[in-house]
Amino acid sequence: FDAAGDDVFVHRPTTAYISGTGFYNYVQSFDEVTAYATAGGVDTAKLFDSAGNDKFVGRPDYSYLEGPGYLGYASGFETVSPYATAGGLDTAMLFDSAGNDKFVGRPTYSYLEGPGYLSYVAGFAEVKAYSTAGGVDISMLFDSAGDDLFVSRPESAYLSGTGFFVSGQGFHSVSAYARLGGTDTARLFDSAGDDNLYGRGNAFTFQMPGVSSFGEGFDLVEAYAQNGGANTLDVLDVDYLFEHYGDWL
């Protein structure tokens, strides 16, 4: 348990400790360790993976990292940071709050933040963020130096490349940026309603009922009208190769 000041909880597969002003509590070789931040202060939890396949689940009020033979659980911490550095195929699932939240996904680190919390993950091969609790939530995805693929659908979007996969589900707006090199592709899939695709220069905006998808810097943009509605195109003077399929107006 924490103190009234600013405390730090550090968990590894075989050891863990919580420390703050005037105290240090250490444990070793426990299969499950749970830390509670309830006494006040701005508290931080740092969770480290094993050499196996590990899974992190981050929520505004609690988070945990688990893998072969261990579980590290943190409750009530303002910032939770898991690190996947020891090997294995590690995945992270981040969940939003009822307020306005922002997800940022990059090849080497990602985070989801909102009122009173921050879930920051580093080194995970797969990161999935979920916007299900309410608020007006946004997602921002950034490419690698290699060849990357951005796929946007009404309910979800992801950006993937060599060694990474970052996705957001249920977000009101998604922005994807291809800035670091490689040959990057964006694939846009329509909704069942009336959608509009606008493109100028190196950017595009795909507006669907209740959600928008923005992209910048891609080499190839493919638009698919498959699900119905009256879909319109306004793509002129673009710097990228543009291809469209299906029924567009």
pLDDT digits 0-9 by tens, 33-46: 999 999 999 999 99
CA distance 144 to 154: 24
CA distance 9 to 80: 9
Q: What percent of the chain has pLDDT over 70?
A: 100
The confidence score (pLDDT) of residue 116 equals: 96
Tokens coding 26: 């250490």
In this prediction, residue 28 has a pLDDT band, given cuts at 50, 70 and 90, of very high
| Cβ neighbours of residue 243 closer than 8 Å, sequence gap 6 or more | 220, 221, 222, 223
The confidence score (pLDDT) of residue 179 equals: 96
Beta pairing class for 196-201 and 156-161: unpaired
Nearest residue to 73 (alpha-carbon basis) of 30, 22, 125:
30
CB 46 within 8 A of CB 81: yes
Tokens coding 2: 């924490």
In this prediction, residue 94 has a pLDDT band, given cuts at 50, 70 and 90, of very high
Q: What is the mean pLDDT of residues 214-231?
A: 98
Q: What is the pLDDT of residues 81-90, one digit of tens each?
A: 999 999 999 9
Nearest residue to 45 (alpha-carbon basis) of 16, 25, 86:
16
Map out the domains of the chain as residue ranges.
1-135, 137-249
The confidence score (pLDDT) of residue 133 equals: 98
The confidence score (pLDDT) of residue 144 equals: 98
